Amino acid sequence: MSRLLVQGGKALDGEVDIHGAKNSTLPILAATILTGGETVLQNCPKLRDVEVSIRILQYLGCSAGWDGDALVVNTKDMNRHHISDGLMREMRSSSIFLGAILARCGKANLSYPGGCELGPRPIDMHLAGLRQLGATITETGGRLDCETAGLTGRTLVLRLPSVGATENLMIAACGATGTTTILNAAREPEIVDLQNYLLCCGARMTGAGTSTIIIEGKAPLHDCTYACMSDRIVAATYLCAVASAGGRIYLKGAKEEHLSTVIALLREAGCQITSQSQGIVCRAQGRLQSVQGVKTAPYPGFPTDAQAVVMAALLKSCGATMLEENLFENRFRHVDELKRMGADIQVSGRVAVVTGVEMLHGASVEATDLRGGAALCVAGLGAQGDTWVSGLDHIDRGYESIERDLCALGGEVTRI
């Protein structure tokens, strides 16, 4: 079993290219099914979840493989409409394939997805929307059996601005007859990236990035070459890394407009962050200051995926900061591991209070989910001594090579 050795106590100094966004790439890979042709996906990250998506596409009869740094997918010869239970369990967002398969084949069979255990993340809104578009869905023994004589566009109102439901319904609506309007849609930049990919293929839709998305279905789709947006959560992680360890870094490809709430918080804590035409520069020196309460919320609010790494950045701050997690129940699983390093964190329900300490010390810790694992690396960089991080399968789901990037930024991190 591999572990990361994080040797802390050294200020960072370096630069790195931010790789493509996991949360953008995965729905785009599902959407390739609609084209029935070839997609060349550039800036596609080589992540565990991406590899699972590749295996799902291959299981469906599609071809998918790397050509240098680009992923080439051809869905022309797709010959299955079901996904094995084993593949579904490997990735939480595997449910994103449902709308694409149903729109392409008229039927789809798959089980409920797996992934990080962050509490209930039901796909009821996905299923309700697909039913309104004309799908018949039977749920039996943890499996979903879906079929339709033809999807028909209509107005869909989401109970919550769910990212996954918005993406699934956008994709399915491309194969529906007529116009579909999604109200209370998620507004994340990754939704915009999915729309841009579909437009590149010939789809007709508008509104991504707002709460109303309109899709004109049955537009003929074609081959395309498309470059994924950079990963804003990876960028947030590395901003928090320099906030924890001190120093100066340059993140090429990072965009402030995608990270506005995280950057505002780090500036309030004392970091100097400057946007440039091609990226972001961040400087941090000495202990940070505590900040006013942090509350996670759907975009453009504070991202739940950045909560853990921001917590790690504030462990040595002066004062106390309250973080409130409003999206997932089990987003504080990293707290006990951070306490092993000397952190002072009190948790009550959905609220965690971080009281800054003067010093953290290295320890043996275990990642129990993706972003919590990244937070342990961030804390390790700001600690004295060696931190050993296990559970790398979680971290590898969202970071192409976190040790490579942190070393490029001046850290001492080794996979052993």
SS3 content of the chain, % helix, strand, coil (to 5): 35, 30, 35
The count of C-alpha atoms lying within 13 angstroms of the C-alpha of 405, restricted to the half-sphere facing its C-beta, is 24
Residues 392, 401 contacting (CB under 8 angstroms): no
Residues designated as active site: 116
**Among all chains, which residue has been given the structure tokens 């918080």?**
265
Q: Tell me the two tokens of residue 311.
A: 């917590």
Q: Which residues pair with 249 in a beta bridge?
A: 14, 282
Q: What is the DSSP letter of 145?
A: E
CA angle (326 as vertex; 341, 257 as ends), nearest 5: 85
Q: Using CA atoms, how far apart are residues 193 and 251, in angstroms rounded to an integer?
A: 20
Q: Which residues pair with 250 in a beta bridge?
A: 15, 281
State how far the alpha carbon of 220 is from the alpha carbons of 54, 197, 247, in Å.
24, 14, 51
Q: How many CB atoms lie within 10 A of CB 105?
A: 20
State how far the alpha carbon of 165 is from the alpha carbons of 1, 121, 224, 304, 348, in Å.
36, 11, 25, 17, 30
Q: Tell me the two tokens of residue 54.
A: 């590749």
Where does 264-316 show beta strands of DSSP type E? Answer: 272-276, 279-284, 294-295
Residues 213, 207 contacting (CB under 8 angstroms): yes
Closest CA to 161 of 53, 265, 259, 304: 304
What string of DSSP letters covers 147-213?
A: E-S--B--EEE-SS--HHHHHHHHHHHHTSBSEEEEES----HHHHHHHHHHHHHT-EEE-BTBSEE
Q: Using CA atoms, how far apart are residues 294 and 307, in angstroms rounded to an integer?
A: 8
Backbone angles phi, psi at 373, to 5 degrees: -65, -40
